[in-house]
Structure 1
Amino acid sequence: MVSEKAYWKVGGEARLEIGERSLLMGILNVTPDSFSDGGEHLQLFAAVARAESMFQEGAAIVDIGGESTRPGFEPVSFEEEVARVVPVIRELRSRRSDCILSIDTSKAVVAEAALEAGANIVNDVNGFLSDPQLAEVAAKYRAGVVLMRNGRSGEKEGSVLDRIRESWERSLEIAFAAGVKEPAIVLDPGVGFGTTRQEDLEILRGLDLLRSFGFPLLLGTSRKRITAEPLGLPVDLRLEATIATTVAGVAAGVELFRVHDVAENARAVCMADLIYRGNDLDE
């Protein structure tokens, strides 16, 4: 459970202190079709350079994905997904032995290849519900895990907050049965995954209630439709709205944020942490 001094265990002896300062997870899509940056980082040198820059800009974690999860995405084979992400992970691990890397996948075979190559965290947008063997892989490598609630495959009736909690309960049951330990787990409410924009607002307004579930939270709103549709914005003009949701998350006590624009969000959370987490100014 989250405490004043809490740590997220992310593989082996590695851990991240959470709660005192907001942590950013930089998004690195090694895909041709992601909704906002598809095709920008397909080449190894471009992907590695972008990851390096995100660490320099203040990312605590870089989250590497080889298959788009945008609405209507085209699935790729596990062979193609592995071929996209593993070389990037290996190169970054060789350059930065202590960096924290996450693999964004819902396939156990991809996760195992990524963890073997040096990833620390498994970020599953299906929360172990589509491939329960993913939980066994995560437990085997003692990886950190992000379990996201995904409403695209259909959910029971009820409020969006109730549906999120019900999904998390099922994900946690699978995780614990496979041997994943509680300090390795972070939960993600899945903003934009099978939700309306009104429901996305309800999630953002209910973050303090979701934190009462007892696990650290990761919020992923970066450039999503909730940052666009209310203002009629294209992808390249969603930064300020994204930062507004990030700051709202800090105010609600959310610990981690998955973002595209690391430098700008880093400056925002630094100030928001001073206000809402009660951090002191560095002397």
Structure 2
Amino acid sequence: MTLNCRGTLIDLTIPKIMGIVNLTPDSFYDGGKLQDPTQVIAQVQQMLNEGAAFIDVGGYSSRPNAAPVSEEEERQRVVPIIELLVNHFPEILISIDTFRSSVAEAAVQAGACLINDISAGLLDKEMLPTVARLQVPYIMMHLRGTPQTMTTLTNYEDIVKEMQYYFSERIAAAHTLGINDVIIDPGFGFAKTLEQNYEVLQKMELFAFQKVPVLVGVSRKSMIYKVLETTPQEALNGTTVLHTLALQKGASILRVHDVKAAHECVQILQQVSHA
């Protein structure tokens, strides 16, 4: 499988790493850490050096019960940083993490080449038409409700079957509009209990029937640190375990805070597969 990013074909035969750049003051792990352009450039430089293929820039915290942010504030958080990064790293492949079509379009105009939408187009009816017009790869995540309501929407009869239906419908809607490159994200931690997160991970290979790449974002999330009775700051080892499992179950992209550790997972599993 390949992605067309600004005319460059990205081969996903070997899984790729997406480094997270949070420009929010309240993100669950690294909120508020990036306060000025120098810090952002230094962090992105480190991620690229450690093996990140993509950099995911976001200005709206989607953690449970996060405070809403206006479209204008979100745009002001992300667009100048994307312009800065593209100017500093001309070959960089930036993903914009937003569910708002206006922010996505402004980010792509500033130099982003992927759109990462937690709502799969369900929180902004203009998102899919905008992606189709921009002709960039589109990451669609599984979510019920909004970041403010999702913790109350965890009642499923068969979570994996319902997610398969969800992705089938959203992929069909995207393809109907002419969106060519679609990636699906199971949405670990979004409208799912701890047990449901692990059920989805255990059965993740069942999403292969969609015949599109799968992105996994479990980095330092509560599904790890609650099991270990620790904190996000102490959840790297648990994250590495889940990254290994996700790769074995077919993940093509890992969205992570710790690029070096994730890249080493890919390297080791590649060696095992060729042994």
TM-score, L = length of structure 1? 0.91
1:15 Cα deviation after fit:
2.3
The match for 2:2 is: 7
The match for 1:259 is: 256
1:73 Cα deviation after fit:
0.8
CA contact (8 A) 1:222 1:260 kept: yes
Relative to structure 1, the CA distance from residue 107 to residue 66 in structure 2 (aligned partners, 3 Å threshold; closer, same or farther) is: same
CA contact (8 A) 2:154 2:191 kept: no
CA contact (8 A) 2:243 2:262 kept: yes
Structure 1 residues 134-145: aligned runs within 5 Å: 134-145=127-138
1:96 and 2:95 equivalent?
no
1:167 and 2:161 equivalent?
no
CA contact (8 A) 1:217 1:255 kept: yes
Q: Secondary structure at the match of 2:82?
A: helix
CA contact (8 A) 1:28 1:63 kept: yes
The match for 1:3 is: none
Letter of the 2:137 counterpart = G
The match for 2:101 is: 108
Letter of the 2:202 counterpart = R
Q: C-alpha separation between the residues in 1 aligned to 2:209 and 2:171?
A: 15
Q: Secondary structure at the match of 1:186?
A: strand
Q: Secondary structure at the match of 1:229?
A: helix
Q: CA-atom RMSD, angstroms?
A: 1.5
CA contact (8 A) 2:135 2:179 kept: yes
1:213 and 2:210 equivalent?
yes
1:40 and 2:33 equivalent?
yes
1:201 and 2:198 equivalent?
yes
The match for 1:16 is: 10
The match for 1:274 is: 271
The match for 1:66 is: 59
CA contact (8 A) 2:168 2:210 kept: no
CA contact (8 A) 1:128 1:174 kept: no
Relative to structure 1, the CA distance from residue 252 to residue 82 in structure 2 (aligned partners, 3 Å threshold; closer, same or farther) is: same
Q: C-alpha separation between the residues in 1 aligned to 2:154 and 2:133?
A: 30
1:174 Cα deviation after fit:
2.9
Q: Secondary structure at the match of 1:212?
A: helix
| Unaligned residue ranges in structure 1 (runs of 5+) | 1-5
1:155 Cα deviation after fit:
7.3
1:132 Cα deviation after fit:
2.5
Letter of the 1:103 counterpart = I
Letter of the 1:239 counterpart = L
Q: C-alpha separation between the residues in 2 aligned to 1:238 and 1:41?
A: 20
1:79 Cα deviation after fit:
0.8
Q: Secondary structure at the match of 2:10?
A: strand
Task: Pick one of 182, 189, 192 that aligns with 1:192.
Answer: 189
1:32 Cα deviation after fit:
0.3
CA contact (8 A) 1:78 1:110 kept: yes
CA contact (8 A) 1:128 1:175 kept: no
Letter of the 1:169 counterpart = S
1:177 Cα deviation after fit:
3.2
| Partner deviation per Cα, 1:197-238 (whole Å, 9 max, x = no partner) | 111111111111112222110011001111111110111110
CA contact (8 A) 1:48 1:88 kept: no
TM-score, L = length of structure 2? 0.93
Q: C-alpha separation between the residues in 2 aligned to 1:248 and 1:7?
A: 22
Q: C-alpha separation between the residues in 1 aligned to 2:10 and 2:140?
A: 17
Q: C-alpha separation between the residues in 1 aligned to 2:116 and 2:128?
A: 11
CA contact (8 A) 1:22 1:273 kept: no
Letter of the 1:171 counterpart = R
Q: C-alpha separation between the residues in 2 aligned to 1:238 and 1:188?
A: 21
| Unaligned residue ranges in structure 2 (runs of 5+) | none
CA contact (8 A) 2:154 2:192 kept: no
